[in-house]
Amino acid sequence: MGFFSKEQCTFCDNKVGYLSRKKLVNNEGYICKECEKNCSSLINISHYTKKELERHIEYMK
């Protein structure tokens, strides 16, 4: 796995490039820009676990 390899978004399964993704805590995966839009801009996504973000996205809907 190279530094610039594409990873899968944990939430929508889209492939995300290095610049358009954010890493979740504990290496739990990545979130793409699209899914990030479903999150509040007030939270620091990279400090959340997958479960917490799932709950947050539900809440924001």
- For residue 13, give both structure tokens: 């399964």
Among 24, 35, 39, 45, binds Zn ion (CB under 5 A): 35
The answer to whether residue 39 forms part of the interface with Zn ion (CB under 5 A) is no
Interacting stretch for Zn ion, rule CB under 5 A, among 4-12, 19-27, 37-45, 46-54? 4-12
Q: Which is nearer to Zn ion, 9 or 24 (CB)?
A: 9
Residue 41 corresponds to which amino acid? S
Residue 45 binds to Zn ion (criterion: CB under 5 A): no
Q: What is d(CA 32, CA 44) in angstroms, rounded to the nearest whole number?
A: 14
* Max Cα distance, the chain (Å): 35
